[in-house]
Structure 1
């Protein structure tokens, strides 16, 4: 008589998002996925129903602001995969509170895989130069030199502290600028957001202002990663953590940056401009600087604009070395999504005409 394997309890946040959807898809494709008991927190009742009926994922209706619910769901899980919120201490404290209770009550050492971001290494280039500084995710001491108010940093510190205190085993994924359209069953079902929001915003802004905009001189560079390659790294990390691999870096040694090449802001916006000209949506491909008023109009304020003036250059050495991660989409693939994005903008422009 065969013994039915015990279910691995997993709590997932961000299932309906652009990044989270790609990660959840990969986990659902795990060869032992039938032994997973996955619970996802979602806002939309319709998407919750689809998750349950089509994908066998238990869906709880709620938001990241319901801290008691977050804490309870985390307490009930051996593994928490967090892909929804990188900047709120209160959200992370709720999750960690649940994991701590689990550890104290059961003796289990729960696992947290947290999606943060490489924005922590943003500098003050103001778009005027490409920095020589390129951060390797193997350099834990260098990472720890970044302190709040560096983007995402306060949450990352909480995650690492939990690992140091011994009640959770934690890992932090640091995506660089993510591109590419989400593909696969969760996107096809309308559950997860398919389109990369960043380039869509810039394309729509360019159409409205008659030519692409640029923040600063555009000499600064960003490392980039395709959404599917980022999901692959997170999945490999999930698989290694699931097996209890004691050699896998965690806590302060558990930063996993995802990148595969880089682009300057100027070439990014110029390529977008050329695609828009081909469609007849703008007359000029050469980008001009956004005004301060446009910063607020299109990006919500100076804090966001400042990020686009920064260099964010990193190397994902740890995932390549320790997980055998091999990203498949080079930086040149970023231009492949431009026609589709522009096509979507063209349809909207035609519909509002």
Structure 2
């Protein structure tokens, strides 16, 4: 890492993973100056984020603010996107800003770390049991070999292409978390998928899945996920990270994968025991719930996603918190927090 403090333009600072990562960064690399893009920038939001990361300033805006994102990315040494992994417009704005920044600073290509997800490797099993599921490694991973109808790829592939060019070069890394869970310590305490499923369950009166819910994916505690992201950033600052076409990092433990039916049943039983829904257990959700999300929903929530985080292992990463608190044991505290929220 250079002696001069560097600047990070940060998207998703108030989110679940983003704010957990900033807490960790505050203890590890507090000299980095973070500029956070924040919508509805109230004094309360400023205070929340200053409590998470002390060396922070703010730009008010949203992921749709093309000019703001381009301007900030072009000025920053590093851009980290922990916001929506499927917001194509913000990715295009970011890539345009990176190209401008690279052009304005010859010999000093900017770094872009983008948080995507393991939905790229979904087998689209539609919740049905299957005899064989491929386990994907991030070593030798080629995004163009994934099912091109899967989520995230329309944003991820242009990022890899940007990190492959020689004119106005950009350093790119994509981070692919598995099913993130656990209570966070940052601004947002609970994971988005938990809140989405909780909302569906409260409306339906029961817990449910896309199809029979026989599909599964790897999981990772939010603290382990944040640590992995920190290790990737630190390796990049030291010039030791895999980047460009090789800069693809799965973030996943090898702890037992739980089917969607298994973990929604735990949610259903817990919510039923508290009188929040009418029945326990889990069953397939009706068409009026799953159909509006179409192929996106079936691919992301009805497919198997089996991965090995081999590049993180090379950096010495271990899923310490995931081993301490398995997914199914995390639900009581997480659901109680989500219900308060």
Give per-residue Cα distances to partners, 1:173-211, cap 9 Å, x unaligned. 00111111111xxx3xxxx21112322332343344333
Measure, in 1, the Cα distance between the counterparts of 2:303 and 2:72: 37
The CA deviation at 1:242 is: 0.9
Matches within 5 A, 1:144-223: 144-146=144-146, 148-166=148-166, 167-183=169-185, 187=186, 192-223=187-218
Q: Please report the TM-score for the alignment, with normalisation by the length of structure 1.
A: 0.86
Q: Distance in 2 between matches of 1:39 and 1:347?
A: 30
Q: RMSD over aligned Cα, in angstroms?
A: 2.3
Aligned position for 2:317: 325
C-alpha distance 70-347 of structure 1, shift in aligned 2 (>3 A): closer
Q: Deviations over 1:207-235 (max 9, x none)?
A: 44333222211111111111111111110
Note if contact 1:236-1:325 (Cα within 8 Å) is conserved in structure 2.
yes
Which position in structure 2 is the counterpart of 1:75?
A: 74
Tell whether the 8 Å contact from 1:122 to 1:311 is kept in structure 2 after alignment: yes
Separation in structure 2 between the aligned mates of residue 44 and residue 50 of structure 1, nearest angstrom: 13
Normalising by structure 2, we get a TM-score of 0.89
Please give the per-residue CA displacement for 1:108-141, whole angstroms capped at 9, x wherever unaligned. 1111111011111112211111442111111324
Cα gap change, 1:145 to 1:276, in 2 (>3 Å): same
Partner of 1:291: 286
Query: Do the aligned partners of residues 208 and 94 (structure 1) sit closer, same or farther apart at CA in structure 2, a change above 3 Å counting?
Result: closer
Q: Is the 8 A contact 1:203 1:341 kept in 2?
A: no
- Relative distance call for 1:163 and 1:276 in structure 2 (3 A) is same
8 Å CA contact 1:214, 1:266 repeated in 2: yes
Alignment of 1:1-353 (within 5 A): 5-30=3-28, 32-34=29-31, 36-46=32-42, 47=44, 49-50=46-47, 54=51, 55-107=54-106, 108-130=108-130, 131-141=132-142, 143-146=143-146, 148-166=148-166, 167-183=169-185, 187=186, 192-245=187-240, 248-260=241-253, 261=255, 262-282=257-277, 284-295=279-290, 301-306=293-298, 307-321=300-314, 323-330=315-322, 333-343=326-336
Alignment CA distance shift 1:201-1:48 (3 Å): closer
Please say if residues 249 and 309 of structure 2, whose CA atoms lie closer than 8 Å, have aligned partners that are also in contact. yes
Residue 127 of structure 1 contacts residue 309 of structure 1 at CA under 8 Å; is this kept in 2?
yes
Report the Cα distance in structure 2 between the residues aligned to 1:85 and 1:288, rounded to whole angstroms: 29
How far, CA to CA, are the matches of 1:304 and 1:340 in structure 2? 29
What's the offset of the Cα at 1:5?
4.2
Q: Report the alpha carbon displacement of residue 63 of structure 1 after superposing the two structures with TM.
A: 1.1
Distance, in Å, in 2 between the alignment partners of 1:133 and 1:69 is: 41
How far the C-alpha of 1:283 sits from its partner, in A, is 5.3
- Contact 1:159 1:170 survives alignment (8 Å): yes
User: Helix, strand or coil: the match of 1:213?
Assistant: strand
Query: How far apart, in 2, do the equivalents of 1:121 and 1:40 lie?
Result: 30
Shift of 1:304: 4.6
Q: Which portions of structure 1, spanning 4 or more consecutive aligned residues, are displaced by more than 4 angstroms?
A: 51-54, 344-348
Partner of 1:165, secondary structure, is coil
